[in-house]
């Protein structure tokens, strides 16, 4: 019914819109409401200090958890974000590789609750811990 992660990533790789900043994200797995992606931090992902931009971290949380939700048996409908909460523990530097993991904690008729962790791949240091709540529309767009 909804979009699948691989077709979404194909769209992102060809878009001229805002989502093009996600082109370098590698989807490693997406199934049963869980997702794993990886990204090596490039200049377009950094702030003025040359570290991972917090706004870009929020974009990763939104997209990777949304992609994972589309693979959940009850989440294969269009949905919109209604709340995201991010806690920043550390940052990542230019050239670091980060891993983004997402888990659908609970998916009901109209709401989905998702948890996301962003970690440094080489050190396993926690960079961001996030929760994402999405409203499931239950209709096609």
Look over the chain and give the mean of its residue pLDDT values, rounded to a whole number: 89
> pLDDT confidence of 6, banded at 50, 70, 90?
low
pLDDT tens, 54-105? 999 999 999 999 989 988 988 778 889 999 999 999 999 999 999 999 999 9
Does the residue 34 lie in any domain? yes
Residue pair 91/52 in contact by the 8 Å Cβ criterion: yes
Does the residue 141 lie in any domain? no
Residue 36 pLDDT: 95
Does the residue 76 lie in any domain? yes
**CATH code for the domain in which residue 44 is found:** 3.10.129.10
The total domain count for the chain is 1
* pTM of the complete model: 0.89
Domain that holds residue 121: 5-136
At CB < 8 A and 24+ separation, what contacts does 14-21 make?
Answer: 19/63, 21/45, 21/56, 21/59
């Amino acid at each position: 019914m909804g979009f699948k992660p691989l077709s979404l990533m194909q769209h992102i790789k060809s878009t001229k819109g805002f989502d093009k900043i996600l082109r370098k994200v590698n989807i490693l797995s997406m199934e049963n409401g869980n997702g794993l992606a990886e990204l090596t931090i490039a200049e377009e992902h950094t702030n003025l200090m040359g570290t991972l931009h917090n706004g870009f971290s929020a974009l990763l949380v939104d997209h990777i958890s949304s992609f994972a939700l589309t693979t959940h048996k009850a989440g294969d409908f269009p949905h919109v974000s209604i709340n995201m909460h991010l806690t920043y523990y550390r940052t990542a530097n230019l050239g670091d590789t980060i891993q983004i993991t997402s888990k659908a904690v609970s998916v009901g008729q109209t709401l989905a609750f998702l948890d996301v962790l962003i970690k440094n791949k080489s050190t396993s240091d926690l960079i961001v811990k996030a929760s994402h709540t999405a409203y499931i529309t239950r209709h096609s767009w």
